[in-house]
Chain A
């Protein structure tokens, strides 16, 4: 099949097939098609294509209109109905946001716990500030020193939540710092009553040599 060399006329054939040309243009093109075998053949093919491809596909327009109305709001604003893609997408975003927040809170908690543990180790490293006799006396004395510091702190700031109280909520490891002030006191009292508990460090042995008073020799 040979194409018409008049591209301008040929380009307008679909409009002629759809009857969308103005009267003057239509007359000119109809005259051209009457004389041009290539355009006549193409015009016939276009009409056949329109007949075949343009067959109406069964769509219930009223039902579509109802569904569209149900999924949209007046004024062109979207109504996100459950089940729609937009709704599902916003749901995913909300879920992702919750995950991010939950993850952030978990990390904050973990870091807080680690921070307290580190602080605890720092606390033990501050033993140098504890009087030497207490340090030598063993762990029970250290605990007493810490407890006394906590008691002092609680006495000075009665409304401020103590670090121990916060640890009660957050800590998962368990330790002396997890105990409340009352529990710590009870523990210290119990420890003080246990005589069999060996000291961690050997007690300093102090040998006192005293001279006997005169006349006390036997």
Chain B
């Protein structure tokens, strides 16, 4: 499902991209303001805790630097999710390399965010969040893109680099796992 979003002046993503290419800086600002919250939400949903704003910023910079590669087959937001996911994977690999070098202490595992989140979130919401956090990384990505962003299986497949059928299976497996966790 390719969502056609429009700005205040009625411009679609593709129109804003064309305007930005023509030198309209305000068009880029509109695109950022339109899609930044969704990118931040996705990052948070898949477990990113630190530097979400930096990640979102990097995603847009990378996107604007490689706009030639955007053919418009998918929506601009889906394309942004794809870029953000690649950046997330790069960041994850870098963190893993650092973790391999630095001994992890027990206190490092529980972050301040986790503590605050647990305190402030209501019980039901915390359980749902915990249930989603139990999913495998792939299941969590697919589930988040489907449930919170409303992407189609085809779009999800494009973002996570799998087939449409596999994306559907990942989603239903994730849903089943969440249900089972909440039923316990």
Q: Enumerate chain A interface residues (CB-CB to B < 8 A).
A: 1, 3, 11, 14-15, 17-18, 20, 42, 45-46, 48-69, 71-72, 74-76, 78, 84, 86
Contact = CB atoms under 8 A, between A and B. Distances in A.
Nearest to A66: B29
A58 B53 CA distance: 8
A50 B57 contact: no
Given A50-B147, A57-B43, 4 more contacts: A1-B180, A52-B125, A53-B144, A68-B64
A52 B129 contact: yes
A65 B65 contact: no
A15 B28 contact: no
Given A53-B41, A75-B23, A76-B64, A67 B179 contact: no
By DSSP majority rule, is chain B's interface helix, strand, loop, or mixed?
helix
B61 A14 contact: no
Contacts of A45: 128, 175, 178-179, 182
Contacts of A67: 57, 61
B53 A59 contact: yes
B138 interface: no
Question: Closest 8 A-B residue pairs measured CB to CB?
Answer: A65-B32, A57-B40, A65-B29, A78-B65, A74-B23, A18-B150, A59-B40, A61-B33
B56 interface: yes
A69 B53 contact: no
B37 A64 contact: no
A12 B45 CA distance: 21
B93 to A, nearest CB: 14
Contacts of A71: 61
6 contacts: A49-B143, A51-B125, A54-B148, A56-B40, A65-B29, A76-B68
Q: Assign chain B's interface to a size class.
A: 35 or more
B29 A69 contact: yes
Contacts of B68: 76
A52 B118 CA distance: 12
Given A20-B1, A45-B178, A57-B44, A69 B28 contact: yes
A65 B28 contact: yes
Nearest to B122: A52
Q: Which of A14, A55, A64 has the most CB of B within 10 A?
A: A64
A154 B168 CA distance: 86
B127 to A, nearest CB: 9
B47 to A, nearest CB: 11
A49 B147 CA distance: 7
B67 interface: yes
B41 A54 contact: yes
Given A61-B36, A65-B28, A1 B53 contact: no
A75 B21 contact: yes
B57 A68 contact: yes
B60 interface: yes
B146 interface: yes
A203 B152 CA distance: 103
Contacts of B65: 72, 76, 78, 86
A69 B29 CA distance: 8
Contacts of B64: 68, 72, 76
Contact of A76 (B20, B25, B146, B147): B20
A206 B1 CA distance: 112
Given A48-B124, A52-B125, A61-B33, A72 B44 contact: no
